[in-house]
Amino acid sequence: MLHFYRQLQPIKVITFDLDDTLYDNYFVIRAAEQAFLDCLQQLAAIDITDWQHYKQQLLQQDPIRYEDVIVWRQTAAAQLLKAQGLKDADIQNIIQQSMQLFVEWRHKIDVPPKNRQFLTELAKHYPLVAISNGNVYPPKIGLDQFQLILRGGEHGRAKPHPDLFQQTARHFQCTMQQILHVGDNLVTDVQGAIEIGCQAVWINNQQQSLFAFAEATTLPTLAVAEVTDLAFLIKN
């Protein structure tokens, strides 16, 4: 599937979202969350409802700070354990063990070989950048094709804020229009990229209509079913 909504302009840099763009994140994130909570429950007998409450409370108090999802997770766990009366040293130890397990499971990702091969070929023609609001480190899942890795919260404001797109333009000394961003989310990826002046590819792997998304207010440059549909970008 290849559907153009706007005319594609010359490209200098291609940026990619990670989760649900280059691989299916559905089961991975749930397994990682479960491993994290199982560890917390084993070490401190936490209540899942309390955990969810602390996470939401923090996000409401300071949404910008907790765009860094790792800081958000660690802070929520620390406050929950503190409320249970645990000592600081014990809290630190429990969080360290739980986070280590979370990160391990978070990177048990199966990247489709054809996507991996496509990125390798594409990287011969364009600088590639990973721009993600998540916490996956691409080299840990075998994706070493990116010249720059930017994560929302850690390196700047999370998408759809323009910060990470602007950093990319400065890094490669290009205009915003010369950046093509590829992602599955119509708000954080497509709207975020288009509104700052980049071009955007919507990964529509369910082949749904744009009209099915009430939150979608901006058309992408083009839509594809999967990243390998962008093979036409590879220069002969």
**Where in the chain is CATH 3.40.50.1000?**
2-24+111-233
Q: In what order do the strands lie in the sheet with 148-151?
A: 2-4, 222-224, 199-203, 179-183, 13-16, 128-132, 148-151
What secondary structure letter does DSSP report for 8? P
Q: 64 falls in which pLDDT band (50, 70, 90)?
A: confident
Catalytic one among 17, 19, 189, 229?
17
Give 42-49's long-range contacts (Cβ < 8 A, gap of 24+). 43/94, 43/97, 43/98, 44/81, 44/84, 44/86, 44/94, 46/80, 46/81, 46/84
Q: 45 falls in which pLDDT band (50, 70, 90)?
A: confident
Residue 62 falls in the annotated catalytic set: no
- For residues 201 and 68, the model is more confident at 201
Return the CATH number of the domain spanning residue range 27-106. 1.20.120.1600
**Where in the chain is CATH 1.20.120.1600?**
27-106
Phi first, then psi: give them for residue 175, nearest 5 degrees.
-80, 165
Q: Give domain 2-24+111-233's CATH number out of 3.40.50.720, 3.40.30.10, 3.30.420.40, 3.40.50.1000.
A: 3.40.50.1000
- The mean pLDDT of 162-187, rounded to a whole number, is 98
Q: Cis (ω within 30 of 0) for the bond into 160?
A: yes
pTM, two decimals, is 0.92
Check pLDDT > 90 for residue 211.
no
CA 154 to chain centre: 12
**What does the mean pLDDT of the chain come to?**
94
Check pLDDT > 90 for residue 199.
yes
Amino acid 171 reads: H
- For residues 84 and 176, the model is more confident at 176
Q: 236 falls in which pLDDT band (50, 70, 90)?
A: low
Q: What is the structure's pLDDT at 223? A: 97
Helix count and strand count (H, E) for the chain: 7, 7
